[in-house]
Amino acid sequence: MASWLENEEILTRKGQIAMPYAWSVGEVGSRFLVGLRDEKRILGNRCDKCGATYVPPRKNCGVCFHDLPDDGWREVGPEGVVTSCTVVREDSPLAPAKAPFAYVIVKLDGADVGFMHVVRDNLEKLAVGVRVAARFREAREGSILDIDSFVIL
């Protein structure tokens, strides 16, 4: 340490970067989010090569590297089984719920990949293997949070 530092204070410069974006959701994502908003339906799409059904839907199958066909769209869920879960114990300014609430990955009926969302109630009953169902919001705007949460069945 330099000798002149002995009598100096170290200053801190506080700041924040807040950058607005307007991300295009794209054609595939828009069809999915419009499905949530207008029909309360969760749409996935199926690869005609390997047979995997994706949700959220995709442009292409990452495994087969193959376009997902127009006729591969289908409704999945709204029920499914929890494949992993965590009860969050601390509040975060980014979370859509106050702690405690849970994150879950749900294998929706008819889908082959997991779908991430939250569970708000009956957390003591939450475990890998329990069945849950999507609960939609009354006021929907074309967002993943048009699904309010998943409820334990």
Partner 1 sequence: MEKAAIVGIGQTKYERRKSGEIYYDLVYEVTTRAMEDAGYTLDDIGDVITVSNDFWDGRTISCMAVQEAAGAHDKNVSTVEGDGTLGALYGLMRVLGGSGTTLIVAHSKGSEGDPRVITNAMFDPVYHRSLGLDAVSSSALQASAYMSRYGVTEEQCALVSVKNHKNAKNNPFAQLPMDITVADVMKSRKIADPLKLLDCSPVSDGAAAIIIADEKHARKARKKPVWIKGAAHCADAYFLGDRNLAEAASLREAAKKAYAMAGIGNPAKEIDVAELYDAFGYMELMWLEGLGFCDPGGGAGMTESGKTAMGGPIPVNPSGGVLSAHAVLAAGLARIAEAVLQLRGEAGSRQVDGARTSLAHGINGPCGQSHCVWVLGKD
Indicate whether 139 belongs to the interface with partner 1 (CB under 8 A): no
- C-alpha span between 75 and 70 (Å, rounded): 14
Quote the least distance from Cβ 116 to partner 1, whole Å. Answer: 6
- C-alpha span between 52 and 62 (Å, rounded): 10
The amino acid at residue 22 is A
Interacting stretch for partner 1, rule CB under 8 A, among 34-42, 43-51, 66-74, 111-119? 111-119
| Helix, strand, or coil (residue 135) | strand
Give yes or no for a contact between 52 and 69, defined as CB atoms under 8 angstroms apart: no
Residues 49-108 that bind partner 1 (CB under 8 A): 54, 56, 62, 83-90, 92-96, 103-105
Q: Which residues bind partner 1 (CB under 8 A)?
A: 1, 5, 10, 12, 15, 17, 21, 23, 25, 29, 33, 54, 56, 62, 83-90, 92-96, 103-105, 113-118, 127-129, 143-145
